[in-house]
Structure 1
Amino acid sequence: MYWDKTTRIKKRLLAAVLSLALAGTLAGCGSAAPAPGQGQQAESPKAGDARQEGSVTSAKRTTYPLTVKDATGKEFVFEKAPERIVSTSPSETETLFALGLGDQVVGVSDFCNYPAEAAAKPKVGSIIKPNEEALVAANADLVMTGVSMNMTVVEKLRGLKVNLFKVEPKTLDDVMSNILLMGQIFDRQEQAEKLVDSMKAERQKVLDAVKDLKPEQKKKVFVEFSPGWTVGKGEYIDELISLAGGINVAGGEKGYVKLSEEKVIADNPQIILYPTGIIDEKSNKPMDQLIRERSGWDRIEAVKSNRLVGLDKDIMSRPGPRITQALTEVAKGIYPELVK
């Protein structure tokens, strides 16, 4: 759910959402999307963050063996901190480097580009379906993956004896909990706690900036995270808007949904958020031009007042260490007079 890739990858990811909904996490390749303009709902990824089952710490050091469960419910017993690590998810790659584990990362996805050192690591393929041979050849003690990989792929890789640990953060608190859990798994608890403390402080700064807004002062916000797609309740992007003091006009929907152009016109948002650097494949237009030129959208207040706010596609799409930076940017976009 991510502004983390090229438009082509975005469309594959969005198709995956619908495929999983019909078959009954945003991830995997799948069926075609519903007809435009119908506002059809796509099922959101299955909620569930990795859960700690047991650990004992001493002076911020992990005591092994450590037993934990990941978001799929699989139990892991770590006799020691994993030394060779692969990440198929940009969010988890960013976390590993933030915890000082960059030297132990022996493989990353094709889209892991932050920090710069991550981009130089050996590649293991897509975030949705990695290259099986490359993943096996990496001989990792642990492979971290996130919301973009569906369970069919997870189970297939585990069948190949890949030790795959999956996280599925749905909220900022989930993101922080995952960072703390990774701190325990990799014996980097002190680093994880410092990182989470800084994220909490950044979140609190935004909350303090918008805390005095009266209900009638809160601005209506529409977010189009990929051409033709928006997001409702139950996902972290919706939470970012709420924490930033905005009202998500798609908040009555659940999960990731195909937008209804007519409904957006009727909702008349005062702010429109979109990812920078994405080109619509059908029209070959950047997102802001696509939005401005839609029929009838010139009547929307955000378009009339030129309140289209472009946000970095990577920080907005990655539920990792920079997610509170994304929150700050969202808040600045909605209330530039309050959030500096």
Structure 2
Amino acid sequence: MAPHPDRSRRTPLVRALTTATALVAATAALAGCGSSGKSGSSTASTAASPAAASFPVTLTPSNGSVTVKSQPQRIVSLSPTATEDLYAVGADKQVVAVDSNSNYPAGVPTSSLSGLTPNIEAIVKYQPDLVVASQDTNGLVAGLTKLGVPVLIEPAAAKLDDAYQQIEQLGQATGHTTQAAKTVADMKSKIADTVKQAGGNHSDLSYFWEVSANPYYSATSTTFVGQVASLFGLKNIADAAAKASDGGYPQLSQEYIVSAQPQLILLADNGANDGGQSPQVVAARPGWNTVPAVKNNQIVGLDDDVASRWGPRLPELVSQIAQAVQHASTASAK
């Protein structure tokens, strides 16, 4: 089973990484997913509210053409990223339940629902008029479609534009197109400002992005997070070890990592429930004391949730990487 990057805790991903050889088969399919849909014609009268006037709307998520007949009032989100997107576009009052991994923003109506192994009977108990998920498993789309419930599958983003398009699409689906557009514009502006300040030409700075340890998995420049790091022109040590079968997430040996001498180590598995690979733990690994990132204290524990999602908090991840880049550049210059 391919790992699923949309989560609030790393443990399920680590298990998948350690048991799969083709780590993200889903990643290969992402390039064609996440495109924003086009609004269908509206039959609302001119006296209707702007939100009501935008329905019905036909969208094209990864599961094909989906029509939302009227503004949804009972949304169920089975994806932590989709949950954040829905709240960012202003649809929070329409959300009645979110999956057990959705933990942001504070106060979301968390339930026992699973996005990885969805239970249609449990979902239907919330009487949803729209369900959003990041993958179609356990017959989710077919089962809910038979019951007349529209489902939007918004998979893990393969590139920045995918993330933006999903936010815009959820804005259309919920009647909040204006707020969705503003959210995307703000994200782009913050990211551009951050990259400008930190500089986008750090090709002399190498990094290791740690997805998990024991065994060590990393993310290449072709992945979503790899492309985010590439905004700063960094050199990814995992690129040289990539194979067509690993989906951009190669397994690296400890010897390979140490010999690559990364100047910066970015930990996406440092949370207590996500592997606990803190900067202190990494620095104490046998043989790693020769690694420049260790010698210069350039090991950064990223916010695991932010690093594993592709929603409105993406500028925070970019900012974390920017700070790490600036510190590492200063250290390498000494």
TM-score by length of 2: 0.81
1:151-185 deviation per Cα after TM superposition (whole angstroms, max 9, x unaligned): 45545644764532111221121111111111111
Q: Which of these residues, 8, 12, 20, is aligned with residue 9 of structure 1?
A: 12
Partner of 2:57: 66
What's the secondary structure of 1:103's corresponding residue? helix
How far 1:289 moved relative to its partner? 4.3
Q: Please show how residues 28-39 of structure 1 align to structure 2 within 5 Å.
A: 32-33=19-20
**1:34-45 to 2 correspondence within 5 Å?**
42-45=24-27
Alignment partners' CA distance in 2, 1:87 and 1:133: 15
The counterpart of 1:137, out of the listed 121, 125, 130, is: 125
Give, in angstroms, the shift of residue 71 of structure 1.
1.2
- More strand by proportion, 1 or 2? 1
Q: Distance in 2 between matches of 1:196 and 1:248?
A: 27
1:270 to 1:117, Cα distance in 2 relative to 1, 3 A: same
Matching of residue 96 in structure 1 with residue 83 in structure 2: no
Q: Does 1:166 align with 2:153?
A: yes
Amino acid at match of 1:106: V
Please give the residue correspondences for 1:213-252 in structure 2 after superposition, counting only pairs within 5 Å.
213=201, 215=203, 218-227=204-213, 228-252=216-240
Tell me the secondary structure at the aligned position of residue 6 of structure 1: coil
Kindly state the Cα deviation for residue 8 of structure 1 after the two structures are TM-superposed: 2.8
RMSD, aligned α-carbons: 2.9
Q: Structure 2: how far apart are the matches of 1:183 and 1:173? A: 15
Residues 171-218 of structure 1, C-alpha deviations (whole Å, 9 max, x = no match): 121111111111111110111111111101111112212446464xx3
Distance 1:337 1:297 in 2: 17
Q: Percent identity?
A: 28
Q: Which sections of structure 2, spanning at least 5 residues, go unmatched?
A: none
1:131-280 alignment, distance < 5 Å: 131-146=119-134, 149-151=135-137, 153-155=139-141, 157-158=143-144, 161=147, 163-168=150-155, 169-211=157-199, 213=201, 215=203, 218-227=204-213, 228-252=216-240, 253=242, 254-275=247-268, 276-278=270-272
Of the structure 1 ranges 299-308 and 227-236, higher mean CA displacement relative to structure 2 is found in 227-236
| CA distance, structure 2, for counterparts of residue 229 and residue 299 of structure 1 | 20
In structure 1, list runs of 5 or more residues that go unmatched: 16-31, 35-39
**Structure 1 residues 9, 312: CA separation in 2 closer, same or farther (over 3 Å shift)?**
same
**Residue in 1 aligned with 2:283?**
292
Cα distance, 1:290 vs structure 2: 4.3
The equivalent of 2:323 in structure 1 is 332
CA change 1:7–1:210 in 2 (3 A) is closer
Residue by residue over 1:194-248, the C-alpha shift from the partner in whole angstroms, topping out at 9 and shown as x without a partner, is 1111101111112212446464xx3101111232221113321101111133222
Is the 8 Å Cα contact of residues 3 and 317 (structure 1) preserved in structure 2?
yes
Q: Could you say if the C-alpha distance between residues 337 and 302 of structure 1 is closer, same or farther in structure 2, counting changes exceeding 3 Å?
A: closer
The TM-score with structure 1 as length reference comes to 0.80
